[in-house]
Every structure is written in C-alpha cells, then in structure tokens.
C-alpha cells in the first residue's frame, strides 16, 4: 500500500501531521528521524516534522538527506524546512524574538503545485525561534509573510545538487505549520503535496481497512483461540467486533468490573456486547478492588493497585481458557507513538502498551495499532456498530477512582456515580442551537468528587456540611491539548440544581475552566 513517511524530530504536532495525511485517505507512518525505511517500495513521499530544537543546538536531531532527497518528493515543515536549508547550503539564524502565532502570506506563488488553489493573504501559523535568512542555491521563494521573507520555498528537481537522473523529485519547505487549525488552507497544502505531487491514489479508507484487516487476522490467527480484555471504550469495542468478524466464536472477551465504572455501566455494556454477538465473560470483582484500595489516597498508588488487581483478575479468568494462544488489545497508533519518544524516554505510560505478563505465554494481537482515534470511530461505523458505543467519551482505566480526590469507599463511588449520571445524561439530552447534542460536541466530560473538601450550605432550614462536585468538559481532537467546553448557562444551572437536589452528600457544584496545558483532563 502507498504510504507517506513522516520523520519525527520531536514536534508536539507530528501526530497532527499524520492525522491530516490520513484524512486525505492516504496511509502514513510516523517514524523517528533516524529510522527512514530505505528499501520500502511503497513510500511515495517524505515529510520532515518540526522540532523543539534549533538546527544550531549540539543535540539537534539530524538525518542523512541523501536517503530520500531527489529520490522522493520531500516537504519540510518548520524545523524540517530549516534543517533542509541549513544542510543544503542556506542560512538559518537566531532571531531576537520568537515568531509565533498568526501571519498572512502576502505573496504566494499559486502557480507552484504546492500552493494550487490558495487565496490571497491566506492565514498561516508560525512557531519558531530561528528564521531562514538565506535559502540554498537552486531554491526559489514561493511564499512570504510581512516578517518572514522565506516562509515557503522549493527546489525544482533538475536544480537539486548531485541530481544526475531525469527521475529526480523536487523539494518543498515551509516555515509555518500547515497541519494546525489556524493555518486556514493547511489541508489544501497537504493535499497538494500528498495527492498531486506524491501521487497518492487515496485508497486508505475505513472500508479498505476492514477488508484488509479481517483478511490479515484470518491468516494470522487461523483456528487459534483469542482472548480480549474489554473496557467498554471505543477502542477495545471496535477491536472486538473486528476480531469477531474474522474468527467468530474463537474470540472470548473478558470484561472486568472493578466497581468504579459509571452508574449501571457494567450491565449496559454487557447488554451492548451481547447484542453485537460477542462472546463476553463479565466478572464482578468490585469487592476485591474496594478492599485493596481502602485508605489509599495517593493517586499513583491508586492506579498501581487497580492495575495490579485488574491483571490478577483478568489472568485468573483467562487461565480458564486453556487453549488460548493470543491476547488481543485495543492499542491504537497514538498509544505506540506516545509510549517512547525519539530520545528513548518514556513520555506517557498506557494500560494497553508494554507487552504481556510472562506467565500468560500468549502472543499479542493488536488489530487497531495503525489507527488514530477518529479512524477507529470510522471503522466502527463501517462495521455497523451502534452510534452510542462509537461516540462514547474516553474514560480512564481506573474509572471513578481517579475522579474521587482522597480515599475510595463504596459510598463515595455511589455519590459520584449519581452526580455523574445526571451530568452525562444531561449532555446527551440537551440539543444545542445547531441541532447537535452537547455530548457529541465535547471530547470528554465527567464529574469529580472533592471528597477531601466539605463546604457549608443551607437546605431547607438546616445547615449542611457536604462535598462539592466539580464538572469537567473539554473540546479536543486527540487529547494532546484540550480547551474547556463553553457549555450553555441554562444547561449548567439545570444540571447543578438537579445534582444538589437529588444526590445526597453534595451541596455545591463547580465547573472546571482549565485548559490542557497547563492542567490535565483528569484531576488525578
């Protein structure tokens, strides 16, 4: 299959480049800057990402451009553009201040294939501390802003140094970020590069993924029995339906209830899975989890206990399936990208990344390992899954345990479940002015119980001293960054009133208006 290689120099938006390429129905792989696949005949183009480094830093990441420059079409973005210029004979210099934020292309060569269809004064997004003050010999400027003369430039194939073949490919570079929302025609630029310049046939789609993956799973698994741990989330659910289509009854799913799911969620999810024709074993292990969590207040310790207990419960159930040879997981592409950065240091740990318990003696199967979250949802729709499963908000593996500040007790979980149920149900029922429910307009929402805090209140003629609940809702595309959702005041008033009136133990409701960064989506 055709693919674009995105070489990662450590930019926070590298994943976003990948998602934009996938939106063009083109497969891409994000690879460390020093891992270019030299002998892959399916590669049709290369994109060099941004980076936190300056090209002048001693530790700056460098790549041997001769591996692909001239052989494949190349697009350098921000640091990628600066690295191309610096390496090929141009000049990159420090500036007195960072060039950051919105800018406009005051001049742009719309005759150049990279800028086909661009409008005059098109807005772009800058984010760099160095600037390219001179481009290499043979290159031509094709876009400038008020403050950045060399905002975009290219080198026709025949003018590339050391080009000795009529099959040489051209090089393009932009100092702005076409992948971000604030570059208004960024998607057009990437389409021009990926489709028109690189020649993508745009064959990557949810339908093609389902067909090819089902065929691959049948070949990989044969008649072997597979175990899959379900969480109720979209990733594991789509993985289960995909595997079920490939191997049917040879798939056994295990859904562990640790007692900290949302209200009635265990039964609802089990019913959904049975309706999908999945073979699911439900395990109520809440008593064990509550016992082991008693008195624990440290968030990281809570996570470790829940993770340990989950593995113990899951393994005990899995061992009953004595002929199983595979463990399937709902690992998706961002899980694998985020788990190790290009310096080899762990950025973020994931509950479904990192191998298998040695005592299980199972092989690993990850049918979604190449998909971004939005692609997982498209595959779910292609598989005919119900919309409420596909659009389900992300939910932390430890469940409500990390949405209760302080120690965990069944009573605190009950309080939070009731408050959260009112909030989530309200989001599903409230239709905004554009006809969309609030639930579908936010990326993730949930209630947090501040069980370490009590606030004074008055109910009837009595003074109360009960817990506050904080509501959280964010908008995002990939959870790497998130902004707080601007929910309607009448909705907030209605939900607050209902929670305080109906949930015993709560007398105050707050709304979290923190963005990520600096805050995280979850409180613990």
Active-site residues, by number, are 78, 177, 179
Q: Concatenated DSSP letters for 108-135?
A: E-TTSGGGTTPPTT-EEEEEEEEEEEEP
Choose among 319, 327, 314, 316: nearest CA to 254. Answer: 314
d(CA 510, CA 487): 13
Hey, what's the torsion of the CAs at 316, 318, 321, 325, to 10 degrees? -140
**Token reading at 68:** 């692909």
Do 113 and 68 touch, CB atoms closer than 8 A? no
What is the chain's Cα-based Rg?
A: 26
Choose among 473, 463, 406, 487: nearest CA to 443. Answer: 473
HSE at residue 100, side-chain half, CA atoms within 13 A, is: 5
Using the CB atoms, write b or e for 123-138: b if 16+ within 10 Å: bbbbbbebbbeebbeb
SS3 assignment, position 435? coil
d(CA 317, CA 169): 56
d(CA 471, CA 449): 9
Do 33 and 59 touch, CB atoms closer than 8 A? no
Chain centroid to CA 482? 11
d(CA 467, CA 452): 8
- Return the residue matching tokens 């409008």: 119
């Amino acid at each position: 299959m055709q693919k674009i290689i995105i070489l990662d120099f450590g930019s926070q938006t590298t994943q976003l480049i990948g998602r934009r390429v996938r939106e063009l129905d083109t497969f891409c792989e994000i690879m460390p800057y020093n891992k270019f696949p030299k002998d892959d005949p399916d590669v049709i183009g290369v994109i060099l990402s941004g980076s936190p480094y300056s090209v002048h830093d001693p530790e700056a990441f460098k790549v041997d451009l001769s591996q692909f420059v001239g052989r494949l079409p190349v697009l350098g973005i921000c640091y990628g553009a600066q690295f191309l210029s610096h390496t090929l004979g141009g000049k990159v210099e420090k500036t007195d201040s960072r060039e950051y934020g919105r800018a406009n292309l005051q001049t742009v060569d719309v005759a150049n294939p990279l800028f086909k269809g661009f409008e005059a004064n098109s807005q772009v997004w800058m984010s760099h501390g160095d600037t390219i003050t001179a481009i290499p010999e043979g290159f031509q400027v094709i876009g400038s802003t008020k403050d950045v003369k060399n905002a975009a430039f290219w080198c026709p194939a025949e003018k590339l140094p050391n080009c000795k073949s009529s099959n040489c490919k051209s090089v393009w570079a932009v100092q702005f970020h076409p992948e971000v929302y604030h570059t208004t025609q960024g998607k057009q630029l990437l389409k021009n590069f990926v489709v028109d310049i690189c020649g993508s046939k745009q064959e990557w789609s949810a339908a093609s993924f389902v067909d090819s993956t089902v065929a691959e799973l049948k070949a990989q698994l044969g008649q072997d029995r597979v175990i899959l741990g379900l969480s109720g989330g979209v990733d594991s659910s789509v993985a289960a339906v995909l595997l079920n289509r490939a191997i049917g009854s040879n798939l056994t799913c295990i859904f562990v209830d640790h007692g900290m799911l949302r209200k009635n969620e265990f039964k609802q999810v089990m019913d959904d899975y049975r309706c999908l024709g999945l073979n699911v074993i439900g395990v109520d292990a809440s008593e064990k989890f509550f016992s082991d969590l008693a008195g624990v207040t440290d968030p990281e310790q809570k996570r470790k206990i829940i993770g340990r207990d989950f593995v113990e419960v899951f393994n005990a159930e899995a061992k009953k399936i004595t002929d199983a040879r595979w463990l399937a997981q709902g690992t998706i592409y961002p899980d694998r990208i985020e788990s190790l950065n290009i310096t080899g240091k762990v950025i973020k740990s994931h509950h479904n990344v990192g191998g298998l318990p040695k005592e299980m003696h199972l092989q690993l199967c990850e049918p979604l390992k190449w998909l971004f979250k939005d692609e997982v949802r498209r595959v779910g729709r292609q598989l005919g899954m119900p919309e409420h499963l596909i659009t389900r908000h992300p939910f932390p593996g430890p469940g409500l345990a990390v949405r209760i500040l302080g120690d965990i007790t069944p009573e605190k979980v009950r309080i939070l479940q009731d408050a959260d149920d009112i909030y989530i149900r309200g989001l599903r029922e409230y239709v905004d002015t554009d006809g969309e429910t609030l639930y579908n307009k936010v990326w993730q929402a949930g209630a947090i119980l501040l069980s370490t805090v009590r606030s004074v209140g008055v109910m009837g003629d009595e003074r109360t001293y009960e817990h506050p609940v904080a509501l959280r809702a964010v908008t995002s595309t990939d959870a790497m960054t998130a902004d707080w959702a601007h929910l309607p005041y009448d909705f907030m008033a209605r939900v607050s009133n209902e929670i305080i009136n109906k949930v015993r133990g709560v007398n105050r409701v707050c709304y979290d208006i923190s963005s990520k960064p600096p805050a995280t989506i979850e409180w613990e």
